[in-house]
């Protein structure tokens, strides 16, 4: 057991997978000597050489496209997209190719590819270095979409993602990289894709969230336990596709009230799908409206500190919303 | 086509090879023509043709090693996949969207090839997306060799696309990557002068797509795409270059589109009527037959016999495929994930 | 008044807008002599010349990118994407550029651009000529997303879209082009973006839908009126972003029961957002779970008739689902 | 730089022009240096530099007609926007993300230029997305002229990007379109040899990005990007060509990156230490100053006076911008749609 930051745990997971399987390689912009602009792959090129940690040209389409081809031919690539905001040139590959090659070939081919990207804001990243993109990919059948929030989960999930025979979108909240630290077991373990995790038990109300917002929700929950005597359950999705409906419905059955929190824009975010599932399949257990707290519906998070702050859901705003719902 | 004999010889093709090429060209044409008939009979909702591309396709594919080289064809490449090992029945199973269609079990449109056992990589409809895949396979081969410190894998990735498709950004990105690392990729542009209705001059400001290769640091070669031997030779040179580790080549085969774009198209709305008449004079099948006969490699009797045999094959394939079952609707949800299917 | 097919009404709308405003031009693959592969622009090049109906190279990124630039410089382009399935190469332009230029320039610039694309299946289009893509774009702040289902609406909405100072995604269900006919007034009129329409009044249950599914839902409703005496309200969204929440909530308040129907894959479709809005803001009026009937979660619609049929929601399936919910 | 005088003369630049160019170069450098100081002081979270690109930027922009030509710069183009009319205060308002930032009202990162009144088109972070916009503006100009049957609009669209960005598919698509229709677009590649940490040899298989132009059917020109007169001349020729309706040009300016990629970067992790030393010998400002002095166009005293004046300007701009208000958080939801703002 060691206390690692989220980025250290992530790097350790990639490192161990590379050591264990020579088919694993990393392809992306600045991943080599520079170790990635966030330093996720720092030291890995020195360790594994320039042909396992490869600086790509500045072209996301071919980062994903080439990795998709390499994966079909038997490799286990990890494609790094420097910022999630820059994944769009690869959208055609991801949606039309990567995600549906297994299906379209009737199972003849498969694409064991991990596409990693740092997402999210609160770091003065402005309109193009702050975006949350998970909902787009969660709408694509054939993709698994993972959004871990803790060092333990990030390491366990990156290992599952690399071992997975199908494409996995792996989104890391860039603000958590160094901010979030936690215990990580030494040696090999994995966390299954598709399983949520109750990060805090409670029976008054369920907060469903993931990523950086998990930490803000936990902060809000702790505060409300003290100030309002509220006992909040905090459910960390960890994977937003497929959703762990069993754990979600169980929690709703217990608490009867649900607040969904995400940083991504409200409209069309993951919250919609969650609310729909609950409103259809756990309707009779609901004691109040399903509420959502999310980033506002503006094209992205502005640069100026005043506007960035106005965009971000915060522990205080989460607490206020919990109070509102709890009082319903 | 005047120097066809010379090139046939210099390329090291035996008479049997030339006849084998001719046979595959004929087979491709016959299967293709039958598909149009089936379409008009209401039995096949969609046909897309290789007619006018057979020489390029068969000649080029003949320079590959089936089962070793990776092949990423596009929808016109019936001649390619037949040369690499598809049977006529397999082709027709695709046309009829039968469960036994090796491409997709009837999930994709006809001519969306893919066959793992032949290393023919599953393709799709969006134009050009296969080109980055080929670069990635080339990259994987390069990685194997670099990690071993020598050439342990001398396979090549062969990928094709139309000249219209060369406008897509992903095609550029893939060629650029292949050029940066001298990847063993053969880029094949089958230039028939049209992207559906859009003539080449409206698509680009150059005559030859092959001119682009210089901007990526590798050779670009223009080849008469109605001459199978020239296409074979050019491909063979590119294959050797790639196997040696010297990097990619862009081959541009000047082909003819003898049909409308597809069975959904009506090319009389945009194609001058005399143009089609003119290009029919250059039909690659007729030209190659004439050459083989002039060289006494093929006799009229042999040709008749060949055509009979192929007609029979096409009949049998059509009947077998038509009789084969459609996919069971209960399979709709299968293979979204591989894990799902394999555990 | 004339009875027109949907495609005729659409063409008439484009034609009238082009006649009225010289800044309007069409840019897309095969839109010229061929009049588009569906013939939406048939005759328009002959009428307006090759510099107002322009065949583009085969590259969707620059179709949208160039139209975005032209729009910024004062033109009113209509970009045609040949099939909605082929819009992904333009995703970077649409999400990163077109949708957020007004916002990122603090209102200094705007992009009056219409991006048209035929979508949807049931026409043997297979995996890459059948897709529904509206939910992806409905998640992008800065875009309006229109999905008309009738000749009257398509003409009125295309005129609004062309006149709009901001980007509008305009999706036409390709199966409705010739199948759906209806009365269209002669001369100029428009239908406002963002307004839904009650296509059938009823008080037992609300079906919310759009596109081809509107017609299937109406069929189901008619049938159930006769066989089951059910009085179904059918709400045609027409615009899926912004949603006409007022009309939606009013209908829910009246009927208490909601079935959402779309052809797009279930998970992450428009239905999620709709259910979430209702489950939060009309919760107390609900007499039953919010149900969704949608395309299954497979990467796309297969070619073989057996599989295509298994994919498509049909009037029969809609009727069955209505019965199930009505009985709740 | 040896023939700089000759080209200065042949390009028709007066001494006052040369001095104006020098002044803008100095101003760009000074503003840029001040930004790094402010960054180290914790007052500016992000800086991205023009240092080493000033000659190319100012020289090239000097050949444009401000307010007539459309300009689509990228994030390094401080020298371009200053030449076209940005004031130092406006630049600093962007750095500090103030409400009065003309680019975005503090919404975008610094150096994301855009100013409607100067026809500087709003730019973004994703690399290369501005290049299709330039092609589209060129298309709009072409449409105006074609509909009129003569040249009624002889504006050009000038667009820039780094050599790393030339790998993006959209850049290819835009150049291809411009080539197909001979659009009045000037494509400017500022090649500094790096895409953040990735050296050019890892990005592409060629020395010169300009080689690509031949594949699109228009000229590609390699220019010494540390020579402002050469950059002016090459741009002027391209502008004239475009105004005449003869189509696009690709200009490749060989520039130097004298700083890390941005204030978030640490280039010692990937850049050989002697390399930076070596390129500093070619600093475009020093070279142009030396030339102007050798030609007796600039005296030491004049240079000192210029530098004083600029220092003063930069001080004033910094103070004014720092004192300006931040955007009001209540404006967060504004301008998602234009209609919303205007009615
Ligand atoms: C991304 C994308 N856009 C549009 C289409 C529709 N489409 C199919 S084939 C084709 C023309 C292709 O022309 P070319 O590349 O020259 O190949 P050819 O058919 O002439 O052999 C078009 C526009 C598509 N399949 N994919
Ligand atoms: C689509 C996209 N991918 C990645 C990035 C991150 N990024 C910003 S600048 C840059 C390098 C650009 O290099 P080049 O084009 O050579 O311009 P230079 O900075 O050297 O002037 C990268 C990778 C981005 N902004 N956009
Ligand atoms: Mg073609
Ligand atoms: Mg560079």
Whole-model pTM over 0.95? yes
A171-201 pLDDT, tens digit per residue, is 999 999 999 999 999 889 999 999 999 999 9
What per-residue confidence (pLDDT) applies to B1? 43
- Number of continuous H segments (helices) and E segments (strands) in chain D: 13, 7
Distance D52 CA to ligand 4 centre (A): 11
**Residue from D195, D253, D258, D260 whose mutation best tests the ligand 2 pocket (most atoms within 8 A of CB):** D195
Of B79, B74, B100, give the one whose Cα is nearest residue B89.
B100
Q: What residue spans of B85-129 are helical by DSSP H?
A: 88-95
Q: How many CB atoms lie within 10 A of CB D275?
A: 12
List, run by run, the mean pLDDT of 10-residue segments along chain C (328 residues): 96 98 98 98 98 98 99 98 98 98 98 98 97 98 98 98 98 98 95 98 98 98 98 98 98 98 98 98 97 98 98 98 97
Q: Where are the domains of chain C?
A: 2-184, 197-326
Residue C307 near residue C279 (C-beta atoms within 8 A): no
Low-confidence ranges of chain B (pLDDT < 70): 1-10, 340-343
The CA-CA-CA angle for residues D307, D311, D316, to 5°, reads 150
d(CA C105, nearest CA chain D) in Å:
4
Q: Are strands D157-162 and D185-191 parallel, antiparallel or unpaired?
A: parallel
Cα separation, C165 vs B217, whole angstroms: 44
- Alpha-carbon span B185 to B139, nearest angstrom: 9
Taking one residue from A and the other from D, the number of pairs with CB-CB distance under 8 angstroms is: 120
Contact D179/B214, CB-based, under 8 Å?
Answer: no
- Which residues crowd ion ligand 4, with CB under 5 Å? D 162-164, 192, 194
Is B286 part of a structural domain of the chain? yes
Assess contact for B140 and A70: CB atoms under 8 A.
yes
Q: Do C58 and B203 touch (CB under 8 A)?
A: yes
Helix, strand, coil % over all residues of chain B, rounded to 5: 50, 10, 40
* Residue D23 preceded by cis peptide, ω within 30: no
Q: DSSP code of B115?
A: B
Nearest Cα to Cα of residue B188 among B168, B213, B155: B213
Helix ranges (H only) for A23-59 are 44-48
* Residues whose CB is less than 8 angstroms from the CB of residue A323 and which lie 6 or more positions away in sequence, other chains included: A224, A228, A230
CA atoms within 13 A on the CB side of A173: 26
The mean pLDDT of D182-210, rounded to a whole number, is 98
Per-residue pLDDT tens digits for D283-325: 999 999 999 999 999 999 999 999 999 999 999 999 999 999 9
Rounded Cα distance between D134 and D169, Å, is 15
Q: How many CA atoms lie within 13 A of D149 on its CB side?
A: 0
Q: What is the pLDDT of residue D342?
A: 44
| Cβ within 8 Å, pair A88-C96 | yes
User: Quick one: pLDDT band at residue A136, thresholds 50, 70, 90?
Assistant: very high
Question: Which among C55, C62, C124 is the nearest to B202, CB-wise?
Answer: C55
Task: Name the residue among A43, A47, A86 with its Cα closest to residue A64.
Answer: A86
Active site residue C215: no
Q: What angle do CA D137, D140, D145 make, to 5 degrees?
A: 130
* Cross-strand bridge partners of residue A184: A2
The dihedrals phi and psi of D292, each to the nearest 5 degrees, come to -60, -35
Name the β-bridge partners of B70: B157
Q: What is the CATH number of the domain that holds D112?
A: 3.40.50.970
CB contact at 8 A, A294 and A271: yes
Position B2 scores a pLDDT of: 43
Write out the H or E segment, with its range, that includes residue B294: helix B284-294
On whether residue D341 sits in a domain, the answer given is no
pLDDT at res. A123: 95
DSSP per position, A246-310: HHHHHHHHHHS-EEEEEEEESTTSHHHHHHHHHHHHSGGG-SS--EEEEE-SSSS--SSHHHHHH
Distances (CA, A) of C265 to A141, C171, C300: 8, 16, 8
**Ligand 2 contact via D125 beta carbon (within 6 Å):** yes
Model confidence over D87-111: pLDDT tens digits?
A: 999 999 999 999 999 999 999 999 9
Looking at all shown ligands, the one closest to residue A55's CA atom is 2
Q: How much distance in Å is there from the Cα of B164 to the middle of ligand 1?
A: 7
Distances (CA, A) of B25 to B28, B59, B77, B239, B281: 5, 9, 11, 21, 17
Angle at A119 between CA C296 and CA A171, to 5 degrees: 50
Phi, psi of A146 (to 5 degrees): -115, 135
CB environment B10-27: b (16+ within 10 A), e (fewer): ebebeeeebbebbbbbbb
**What pLDDT is attached to residue D10?**
59
The mean per-residue pLDDT over the stretch A12-30 comes to 98
CB A292 within 8 A of CB C283: no
Give a yes or no: residue B336 inside a domain: no
| Mean pLDDT (whole number) for A243-269 | 98
Asked, as a colleague might, if the bond just before D146 is cis with ω within 30 of 0, I would say: no
With CB atoms and an 8 Å threshold, state whether A306 touches D203: no
pLDDT value of position C1:
82
Say which DSSP state B14 is in: -
| Burial profile C185-223: b = 16 or more Cβ within 10 angstroms, e = fewer | eeeeeebebbbbbebbebebbbbbbbbbbbbbbbbbbeb
Q: From the CA of B191, give the closest atom in ligand 1.
A: 16
* Long-range contacts of B219-223, Cβ-Cβ distance < 8 Å, separation of 24 or more: B219/B249, B219/B250, B220/B249, B220/B250, B220/B251, B220/B252, B221/B249, B221/B250, B221/B251, B221/B252, B222/B252, B222/B254, B223/B56, B223/B251, B223/B252, B223/B253, B223/B254
Give A-chain residues touching D126 at CB under 8 angstroms. 85-86, 88-89, 128
Q: Which fold has domain A2-184?
A: Rossmann fold (3.40.50)
Residues in chain B, overall count: 343
Q: Which helix (H) or strand (E) holds A236?
A: strand A232-236
Taking residues A139-167, report their average pLDDT.
98
> What domain count does chain D have?
1
Residue whose CA lies nearest to ligand 2 atom number 15: D162
Cα B65 to Cα B243: distance, rounded to the nearest angstrom:
12
The nearest CA of chain C is from the CA of A237 a distance in Å of: 16
Containing domain of residue B285, as a range?
A: 4-331
Looking at residues A39-64, what average pLDDT do you find?
98
Q: Is the CB of B249 under 6 A from ligand 1?
A: no
Nearest CB neighbour to D170, from listed C49, C62, C67: C62
Instruction: Find all residues with CB under 8 Å of B262, minimum gap 6, and list them.
Output: B46, B47, B48, B49
For the CA of B126, the closest atom of ligand 1 is 26
Q: Would you say residue A259 has pLDDT above 80? A: yes
Q: Is the pLDDT of residue A1 over 90?
A: no
Q: Is residue D67 part of a domain?
A: yes
pLDDT of D9 reads: 57
Indicate yes or no: CB of B332 within 8 angstroms of CB of C310. yes
Both tokens of C302, joined, read 């297969």
Tell me the three state secondary structure of residue C90: helix
- Give the fold, CATH level 3, of A197-326: Rossmann fold (3.40.50)
Residues C165 and C158: their CA atoms lie apart, in Å, by: 13
Residue with tokens 């070939």: A105
């Amino acid at each position: 057991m060691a206390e690692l930051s989220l980025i250290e745990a992530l790097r350790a997971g990639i490192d161990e997978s590379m050591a264990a399987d020579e088919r694993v390689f990393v392809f992306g912009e600045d991943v080599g000597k520079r170790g990635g602009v966030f330093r996720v792959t720092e030291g890995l090129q020195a360790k594994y050489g320039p042909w396992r940690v490869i600086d790509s040209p500045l072209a996301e389409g071919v980062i994903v496209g080439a990795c998709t081809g390499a994966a079909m031919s038997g490799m286990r690539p990890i494609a790094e997209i420097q910022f999630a905001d820059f994944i769009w040139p690869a959208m055609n590959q991801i949606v039309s190719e990567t995600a549906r090659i297994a299906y379209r070939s009737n199972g003849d081919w498969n694409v064991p590819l991990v596409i990693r990207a740092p997402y999210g804001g609160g770091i003065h990243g402005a309109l193009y270095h702050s975006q949350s993109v998970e909902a787009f990919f969660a709408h694509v059948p054939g993709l698994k979409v993972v959004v871990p929030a803790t060092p333990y989960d990030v390491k366990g999930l990156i290992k599952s993602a690399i071992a997975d025979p199908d494409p996995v979108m792996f989104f890391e909240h860039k603000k958590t990289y160094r901010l979030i630290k936690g215990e990580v077991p030494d040696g090999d373990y994995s966390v299954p894709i598709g399983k949520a995790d109750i990060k805090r038990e409670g029976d008054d109300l369920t907060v469903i969230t993931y990523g950086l917002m998990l930490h803000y929700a936990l902060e809000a929950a702790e505060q409300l336990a003290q100030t309002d005597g509220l006992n909040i359950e905090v459910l960390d999705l960890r994977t937003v596709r497929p959703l762990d409906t069993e754990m979600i419905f169980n929690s709703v059955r217990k608490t009867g009230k649900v607040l969904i929190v995400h940083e991504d824009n409200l409209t069309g975010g993951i919250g919609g799908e969650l609310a729909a599932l609950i409103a259809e399949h756990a309707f009779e257990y609901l004691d109040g409206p399903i509420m959502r707290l999310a980033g506002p519906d503006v094209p992205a998070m502005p640069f100026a500190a005043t506007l960035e702050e106005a965009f971000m859901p915060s522990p205080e705003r989460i607490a206020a919303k919990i109070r509102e719902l709890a009082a319903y | 086509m005047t120097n066809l004999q010379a090139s046939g010889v210099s390329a090291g093709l035996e008479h049997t090879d030339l006849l084998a090429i001719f046979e595959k060209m004929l087979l491709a044409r016959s299967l293709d023509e039958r598909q149009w008939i089936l379409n008009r009979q209401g039995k096949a909702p969609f046909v897309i043709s290789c007619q006018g591309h057979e020489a390029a396709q068969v000649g080029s594919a003949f320079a590959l090693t089936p089962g070793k080289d990776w092949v990423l064809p596009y929808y016109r490449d019936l001649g390619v996949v037949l040369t690499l090992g598809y049977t006529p029945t397999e082709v027709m199973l695709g046309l009829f969207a039968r469960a036994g269609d090796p491409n997709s079990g009837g999930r994709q449109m006809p001519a969306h090839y893919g066959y793992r056992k032949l290393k023919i990589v599953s393709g799709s409809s969006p134009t050009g997306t296969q080109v980055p895949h080929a670069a990635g396979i080339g990259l994987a081969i390069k990685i194997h060799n670099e990690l071993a410190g020598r050439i342990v894998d001398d396979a090549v990735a062969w990928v094709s696309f139309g000249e219209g498709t060369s406008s897509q950004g992903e095609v550029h990105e893939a060629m650029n990557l292949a050029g940066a690392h001298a990847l063993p990729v053969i880029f094949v542009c089958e230039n028939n002068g049209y992207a559906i209705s859009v003539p080449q001059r409206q698509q680009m400001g150059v005559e030859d797509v092959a001119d682009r290769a210089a901007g990526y640091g590798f050779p670009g070669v223009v080849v008469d795409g109605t001459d199978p031997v020239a296409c074979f030779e050019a491909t063979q040179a590119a294959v050797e270059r790639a196997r040696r580790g010297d990097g990619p080549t862009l081959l541009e085969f000047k082909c003819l589109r003898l049909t409308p774009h597809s069975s959904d198209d009506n090319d009389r709305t945009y194609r001058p009527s005399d143009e089609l008449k003119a290009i029919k004079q250059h039909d690659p099948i007729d030209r190659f037959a004439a050459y083989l006969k002039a060289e006494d490699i093929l006799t009229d009797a042999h040709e008749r016999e060949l055509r009979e045999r192929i007609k029979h094959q096409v009949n049998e394939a059509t009947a077998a495929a038509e009789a084969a079952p459609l996919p069971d609707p209960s399979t709709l949800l299968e293979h979204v994930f591989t894990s799902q299917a394999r555990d």
